[in-house]
Homo-oligomer: A and B are copies of this chain.
Amino acid sequence: MSEAPLKKGHRIALDCMGGDLGPSEAVAAAALALKEGIIGPDDTLVLVGHEDNLRLLAFEHRSLNSNRIQFKNATSIVGPDDAAMTVLKSKRDSSMVIALEMLKSGEVDMVVSTGNTKALVAAGTIKVRPMEGAERPALAAIMPRREGHFIMLDVGANPEATPAQLVHNAVLGAIYAQSSLGIANPRVGLLTVGTEEGKGGPRINRTHALLKAMGDRINYIGPVEGFDVFGDACDVVVTDGFTGNVILKTLEGLVYMLRDLVGSKVKRNPMYLAGGIAMFPLLRDLKGKLKPERYGGAPLLGLTGLVMKAHGSSNRQGIASAIRLGLEALGHGAGSRMLSALAEANKVISETPEEA
């Protein structure tokens, strides 16, 4: 983007304790991000967690012996099944909450966490607060399609979004598509159950009317169906957090089922064996393409600071890629552009009568 400021140093807090693979993988991710130049010469990465433990783990990676790496102690851990309220009430000393507090106070510009989604959404919303003009954050996932990728949001932060919140998702998602996918004028579609106007119920109809009223403030191409999203219909698919989360998880389930089916077929019928072996690189490629976490992280868009959620099962590549995605968004000045886009959207929302 030509208007992007020269990239200055950024400070990142990495919640090292929430992932399925434990703090050793988070520390390895930090080493990888340094080695690959994701963490630039002016950036700082703060490893948040059991400090003694983290320092021991860091000792194994030469690259982490750097003044760009810092440590912040946190004595407890948010578990994968901890309810959001539990975390907010009794885990204030957890690596997740301490990282979010650092973002709130301005000590860091961004938090990356593999911790449980519901807790991160709740704690992020309450600690970091929605940005002016936004009501609830939205989780934006990068998904594969025939050629390239598209963004779907919300995939789980706000299950029952209102029309205004869906419009917010649309403008936030469009700006994120610019920084993450490099698409200058991303096409935005509204996920529904029929592409005729009038399908999908009053909530979708009102959202559609508002998005049309946005005029050239957004490149809205209209309603899209689930069938179209893997084609080249649009770059940003807008939906509520319930539908988006269910789609994401159903797709993951289907991909795993496919993998198992291929495996069992090959076992049962030797005729498939030669083919199975020859197809192995193809299946591996497909798996890579279909993995929703290929891009490593999903930002919680619409907060006053940048919170990147990485998949709980992320390995070092996944976590490093979440750091990269976040830094790209910061480098593009996405935050300030989101603020003005939200203000414009809210003006349109308040000026568009219900029966538009």
Contacts and interface: CB of A to CB of B under 8 A. Distances in A.
Nearest to A278: B275
A251 interface: yes
Query: Main SS of chain A's interface residues?
Result: helix
A246 B247 contact: yes
A193 interface: yes
B286 A281 contact: no
A344 interface: no
Interface stretch (A62-70, A206-214, A260-268, A302-310): A260-268
A71 interface: no
A159 to B, nearest CB: 4
A252 B227 contact: yes
Contacts of A148: none
B246 A83 contact: no
Interface stretch (A3-11, A170-178, A237-245): A237-245
Interface residues of A, number: 64
A118 interface: yes
Nearest to A239: B246
A33 B39 CA distance: 66
B278 A250 contact: no
A285 B271 contact: no
Interface stretch (A98-106, A181-189, A196-204): A196-204
Nearest to A251: B254
Contact of A243 (B145, B196, B246, B278): B246
B271 A274 contact: no
Contacts of A192: 242, 246
A245 B239 CA distance: 13
A139 B227 CA distance: 18
A191 to B, nearest CB: 6
A254 B150 CA distance: 14
A254 B230 contact: yes
Interface string A320-340: 000000000000000000000
A83 B275 contact: no
A153 to B, nearest CB: 14
29 contacts: A193-B249, A200-B242, A226-B249, A229-B250, A230-B250, A231-B253, A231-B257, A239-B246, A242-B243, A243-B243, A246-B246, A247-B247, A250-B250, A250-B251, A251-B251, A251-B254, A254-B254, A254-B290, A262-B286, A265-B282, A265-B285, A271-B278, A272-B281, A274-B274, A275-B277, A275-B279, A275-B280, A278-B279, A279-B279
Interface of A: 81, 83, 118, 145-146, 156, 159-160, 191-194, 196, 198-204, 225-231, 239, 241-243, 245-254, 256-258, 260-262, 265-266, 271-272, 274-282, 285-286, 289-290
